[in-house]
Homo-oligomer: A and B are copies of this chain.
């Protein structure tokens, strides 16, 4: 690392961060052994549990097989991409004395390996996290017969394991790449980010379709048509529904947050390197890593404090979890400023506007996370006006309930955009006011500030993921209890069921909060990546000898240029196409589940004369999810390449701007209206049951509420959250291909022909993806 001119203190700091990453992983292993020692309950419970476990494992295996070819192709493509664009001057500097051809080979290998590492880490977080959740749920169910505190502890700590995996692996990957490649890191970092994001997209899309097809299908026939409760063991889709909670909410969400965690540090390091070029200071790169290290330590401390007594209510659980979060937040905020003061308060750094700017930007991120949390809570929580208005509109039937939810979702997305806008404005004030910095450099500083805000937002990822995984664990435990103890009415069972119902309710809230943070951080990360795109393009142009005044950092992305405007229109449209296909996939798959459940009900499953066949529903959901994976991912991967090749690099920038604006609005709309409908339905269910007076379960109002909830399901659990990784896949692909686009911008003759040929082939691929996404779901005979 001597190449980079690190001080001994900085070298120690980097290795300390590396050590903290390992510490996070060790803590995860420690918690795992704790959990596995817990009791697994009765044989009936284990029977249900085994069905869930098998379904989840089978799904992940199938999914892995579906995506493997694409991963292989992309790994090779990433390796060979260095043969189109020569290694950066930094790479040559890093490996001074090595022949350029060898450096090129090394960088190619590094890029491909980093991509595989990113994909593997993301997969590991998702898979291990989900397996851990499955291990935990039966133990939570069993513990609920003993004590409230035990059940809470097991559920939360199992979630913390996933949180620590996210923290540990995210930090480990970035640090390793930085230690090995130093200033040549951006190339490999992009591959690392891309691998993680792509896997997250797969997990989100696949898991999202699986879980909602099962859920919607199970509810439509079970709850609405047959009038049996949720999680009734007679419903043949009930196991698929429980499996779905794991593959969607658990594996999907964990992988998603992992990639946000990863991508924010990737864009932070790339922009930090750009500042190194401007200022000659390495602090811009080292400090983000220190911030991340601080976050892991604070998360470990905070999560360990989540405890409750032998008995308790959902309010106790919520306050225990929240005080853990607060502990972590206070510790980390204090440490940010202490670290900033000790490390950055030097004359050299103060020449760039003072040490306080960096910790302040990170602090804004923590604040932003809390603000988005409050906004989400307002628009989707049961205590505020919006959800209560939606509940009231159930009086006049499902149509007005839907309309109200749509209006609430629309409005919430506006406020959420304004919060993001305020964050950028904050960065303008913090990093746009450094004396002596002007023009393009000023914009780079501001975008670096945005990236630091993103890093700040995800500081408490350990806590966030723990809170989020807590949701499906409690949900599944509740389901196992309902199914395994079906018909038991003794007090111990009733008490245990109450404990789990309480934990399940808490889980719904924590899940909604995490979702808000996830999309907020996704947009911030996308804006930072947009900054990386500019840096990357300018450097590629510099490499080609294009003078500074004609580089993109000087001329900018001008939307008044018709080509750029066209790029922006296409970028704006992409999230809509993606969401449309995701929703269509869920409805198609849900229809198949409906038909299957109806078929089994006709055979006598409802009367109990025939045992339900749970595996069929799992197979249908699995097959339906698999069918969509590759084509939806291709939309995100191929579209930016086509836009870049046909319309040029500036239009590609317009495309990115369009996708961020429209993706953010659409994602928040779908997440929040879905969440609001869900909770409006819950409010109606909480009423005393009295259908004659149109109150509570079974009433017309409840039916309207179920319609709203069902519409919201694919909004909030499939299309909405899948937009997070989709936006970032598009951004990362754009950053990666930018140098190639720049190189071919003035192509003539054979080269131009080549560009058009590639563009046409890719357009063909896109057409295939669109056609495939619109094709009907596989019927049972194809399985």
Is A512 on the interface with B (CB-CB < 8 A)? Answer: no
What residues of chain B lie closer than 8 Å to A530, measured between beta carbons? 560, 565
Q: Select A653's contact among B406, B560, B657, B706, beta carbons within 8 Å.
A: B560
Q: Select A569's contact among B421, B559, B568, B569, beta carbons within 8 Å.
A: B421
The interface residues of chain A, by DSSP majority, are classed as helix
What's the Cα separation between A562 and B528 when bound, in Å?
A: 11
Q: Select A556's contact among B558, B570, B579, beta carbons within 8 Å.
A: B558
Task: Tell me if A710 and B661 are in contact (CB < 8 A).
Answer: no
What's the Cα separation between A586 and B639 when bound, in Å?
A: 38
Q: Select A407's contact among B393, B443, B580, beta carbons within 8 Å.
A: B580
Chain B's nearest CB lies how many Å from the CB of A658?
A: 6
What's the Cα separation between A407 and B587 when bound, in Å?
A: 10
What residues of chain B lie closer than 8 Å to A450, measured between beta carbons? 562
* Chain B residue with the shortest CB-CB distance to A552: B560
Is A124 on the interface with B (CB-CB < 8 A)? Answer: no
Task: Tell me if B402 and A657 are in contact (CB < 8 A).
Answer: no
Is A623 on the interface with B (CB-CB < 8 A)? Answer: no
Is A420 on the interface with B (CB-CB < 8 A)? Answer: yes
Is A500 on the interface with B (CB-CB < 8 A)? Answer: no
Is A480 on the interface with B (CB-CB < 8 A)? Answer: no
A587-B556 contact in complex given A396-B594, A580-B410, A594-B396, C-beta closer than 8 Å: no
* Chain B residue with the shortest CB-CB distance to A427: B562
Q: Select A568's contact among B531, B657, B714, beta carbons within 8 Å.
A: B657
Task: Tell me if A584 and B661 are in contact (CB < 8 A).
Answer: no
Q: Select A662's contact among B565, B662, B707, beta carbons within 8 Å.
A: B662
* Chain B residue with the shortest CB-CB distance to A385: B774
Stretch at the interface among A299-307, A311-319, A411-419: A411-419
Task: Tell me if A591 and B400 are in contact (CB < 8 A).
Answer: yes
A220-B573 contact in complex given A407-B587, A562-B443, A657-B565, C-beta closer than 8 Å: no
Task: Tell me if A577 and B411 are in contact (CB < 8 A).
Answer: yes
What residues of chain B lie closer than 8 Å to A580, measured between beta carbons? 406-408, 410-411, 414
Task: Tell me if B418 and A573 are in contact (CB < 8 A).
Answer: yes
Task: Tell me if A421 and B570 are in contact (CB < 8 A).
Answer: yes
Is A501 on the interface with B (CB-CB < 8 A)? Answer: no
What residues of chain B lie closer than 8 Å to A395, measured between beta carbons? 591
Chain B's nearest CB lies how many Å from the CB of A394?
A: 11
Is A446 on the interface with B (CB-CB < 8 A)? Answer: yes
* Chain B residue with the shortest CB-CB distance to A449: B562
What residues of chain B lie closer than 8 Å to A566, measured between beta carbons? 421, 424-425, 428
Task: Tell me if A414 and B577 are in contact (CB < 8 A).
Answer: yes
Is A563 on the interface with B (CB-CB < 8 A)? Answer: yes
What's the Cα separation between A587 and B402 when bound, in Å?
A: 10
Task: Tell me if A577 and B410 are in contact (CB < 8 A).
Answer: yes
Is A694 on the interface with B (CB-CB < 8 A)? Answer: no
Is A101 on the interface with B (CB-CB < 8 A)? Answer: no
Which 4 residue pairs across A and B have the least CB separation, nearest first? A556-B558, A399-B710, A410-B580, A572-B661
Task: Tell me if B555 and A216 are in contact (CB < 8 A).
Answer: no
What's the Cα separation between A707 and B395 when bound, in Å?
A: 14
What's the Cα separation between A418 and B763 when bound, in Å?
A: 14
Is A398 on the interface with B (CB-CB < 8 A)? Answer: yes
Q: What are some 27 contacts across the A-B interface (CB < 8 A)? A: A220-B396, A220-B397, A397-B710, A400-B590, A400-B591, A402-B707, A403-B583, A403-B587, A407-B579, A407-B580, A407-B581, A407-B587, A408-B580, A414-B573, A417-B569, A417-B570, A417-B573, A418-B570, A424-B562, A446-B562, A530-B560, A555-B558, A556-B556, A556-B559, A556-B560, A576-B669, A658-B661
What residues of chain B lie closer than 8 Å to A252, measured between beta carbons? none
Is A404 on the interface with B (CB-CB < 8 A)? Answer: yes
Is A654 on the interface with B (CB-CB < 8 A)? Answer: yes
Is A295 on the interface with B (CB-CB < 8 A)? Answer: no
Q: Select A661's contact among B400, B568, B706, beta carbons within 8 Å.
A: B568
